[in-house]
Amino acid sequence: MKKQLLAAMVCVMAVMNPASADTFGPVGNQFTIDFVPISGSTNPTSGYGIVNNAYRMGTYEVSNDQWTKFKAAYGAVTGSPSYAYGNDPLFTGTNVPTNNASWYEAAQFVNYLNTSTGHQAAYKFTGTQGTSDYTLATWVSTDTGYDAGNPYRNSNAFYFMPTENEWVKAAYWNGTSLQTYANASPSDLVFGIPDPAKWNYFSSVGREPWNVGSGSQELNGTYDMMGNVWEWMESPYFSGDYGTASSRGLRGGSYDFYGTYLASSYRSYYGPPLIEFGNFGFRVASVPEPTVIPVPGAIVLAGIGISCIHWLRRRRTL
């Protein structure tokens, strides 16, 4: 143990791991969520997308398969107001993004990711889970993990819905500027707008969501941050309006909206968190995975070359 600790002293924290996947749920209902790393080292100078810390963004929108397995492990997804939980997905394909999802439903999904893996719930609910009195509240100054800048999210949570800044940066930030679209290559655009064969919006064939990840990989490794379904933002649409029923923004456009809604500059779509529509879904974000890198020059202990000890979080299983 002393040798391991000595070796560990020569390691320093790296920015983050590369793309990773976390596992949730009991045997028989396990599912994984893939994440891509987003660096905090560079930022826009103004507007949306300024996030000074590193984090991970879900590679894909949450799918019906993940939602179904979550419900099997979690139990009834319900609460107050009851009509925020009234509709099953309109599009039922296993791997299409879960849809007809209210913000409150997304919040309970995210809380399960945290509590089932030993972390702090991101969102505060009062009452009894699985009953009609289960109600969203905001964290207050007497709560451990309270963040005055964002009373929706507990600062000790590991998983969360992305704020608008986190979402915009993951979709459009190329390290120098916010791109108009999330395309990884200029060839992904046709006449200056996203290729409808690569992103699922109104000009595409089908007029319904496709399986997550069916289109092209985007600028920072994600899929479908343009089109497929609108995605809930954690943050309120109107700055500072942290009421539990306050409108939340939605970003990214959907299968039934035109390409102009896919642009980084577009943010005029929002609604109360109780709304369930067939083109509303969400994705999950997370704090970054820690790792370590060696200081130049490895230490040799007991004849074994030890360049570094990696503290990688285990794949999170119930």
Residue 308's pLDDT is 34
Sign of CA dihedral 177, 180, 184, 190: negative
Residue 148's pLDDT is 97
Distance between CA atoms of residues 50 and 199, nearest Å: 25
Residues 115 and 142 in one domain: yes
Enclosing domain of residue 239? 18-289
- Lowest-confidence pick of 10-19, 139-148, 272-281: 10-19
pLDDT at position 166 over 50: yes
pTM of the model: 0.87
How remote is the C-alpha of 16 from its chain's centroid? 16
DSSP string, 94-127: TTSBP-S--HHHHHHHHHHHHHTTT-B-SSEEES
Residues 275 and 307 in one domain: no
Residues 265 and 300 in one domain: no
Residue 309's pLDDT is 28
Residue 291's pLDDT is 56
Q: What is the mean pLDDT of residues 124-130?
A: 98
Residues 106 and 229 in one domain: yes
Query: What's the CATH number where 189 sits?
Result: 3.90.1580.10
Which residues fall within 8 angstroms of residue 111, CB to CB, at 6 or more apart?
A: 121, 122, 123, 125
Residues 1 and 49 in one domain: no
Residues 142 and 11 in one domain: no
For the chain, how many structural domains are there in total?
2
**Mean pLDDT of the residues in the chain:** 88
Residues 35 and 109 in one domain: yes
Q: What is the mean pLDDT of residues 76-101?
A: 97
pLDDT at position 68 over 90: yes
Residues 61 and 30 in one domain: yes
CB 109, CB 161: distance < 8 Å: no
Distance between CA atoms of residues 180 and 243, nearest Å: 31
Position of tokens 């930022």? 43
Cβ neighbours around 108 below 10 Å, total: 24
pLDDT in tens, 232-278: 999 999 999 999 999 999 999 999 999 999 999 999 999 999 999 99
Residue 298's pLDDT is 37
Residues 207 and 285 in one domain: yes
Residues 232 and 298 in one domain: no
Residues 63 and 137 in one domain: yes
Residues 4 and 102 in one domain: no
Q: What is the mean pLDDT of residues 77-99?
A: 97
